[in-house]
């Protein structure tokens, strides 16, 4: 008997996001999406992914950038299930990718944080393995 995948959960509340990740700087606004990653159906746990759009005041965004370590890699593509607006998805193609370890909270201990060029917006993508 196969089970349908659980639907993605989305939110805009900072308190719920803070229960899943560490936030080195407190954002002014958030939107997040938590979804299963890959295909379920096997025995054992199923991995999941969190994507969060973090909006900061300009000074806090600069402070955050100064604490992050660039990965030196091209911004990865995000499997957002069509959740991100197309304009955001396009802007991420030229985003600066940073190590996201400052945001890790078990079990979310893999991922990247992207800084949207010319803005105070960051897109955090973390996942379990």
Global pTM reads 0.89
State yes or no: pLDDT of 129 exceeds 90: no
Task: Report how many helices (DSSP H) and strands (DSSP E) the chain contains, helices first.
Answer: 3, 6
Q: Which of 127, 129, 128, 121 is nearest to 31 (CA)?
A: 121
pLDDT of residue 7: 76
Question: Mind listing the pLDDT tens digit for each residue in 33-61?
Answer: 999 876 656 655 688 999 999 999 999 99
pLDDT band at residue 1, thresholds of 50, 70 and 90?
very low
Residue pLDDT, tens place only, 8-36: 899 999 999 999 999 999 999 999 999 98
Kindly report the three-state secondary structure assignment for every residue of 35-62: EECCCCCCCCCCCEEEEEEEECCHHHHH
Other C-beta atoms lying within 10 Å of the C-beta of residue 98: 24
């Amino acid at each position: 008997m196969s089970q349908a995948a659980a639907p993605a959960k989305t939110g805009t509340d900072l308190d719920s996001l803070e229960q899943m990740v560490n936030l080195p700087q407190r954002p002014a606004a958030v939107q997040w999406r938590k979804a299963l990653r890959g295909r379920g159906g096997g025995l054992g746990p199923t991995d999941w992914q969190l994507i969060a759009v973090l909006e900061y005041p300009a000074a806090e965004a600069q402070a955050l950038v100064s604490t992050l370590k660039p990965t030196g890699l091209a911004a990865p593509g995000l499997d957002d299930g069509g959740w991100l607006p197309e304009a955001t998805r396009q802007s991420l193609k030229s985003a600066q990718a940073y190590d996201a370890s400052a945001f890790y909270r078990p079990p979310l201990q893999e991922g990247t944080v992207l800084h949207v060029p010319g803005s105070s917006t960051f897109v955090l993508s973390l996942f379990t393995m």
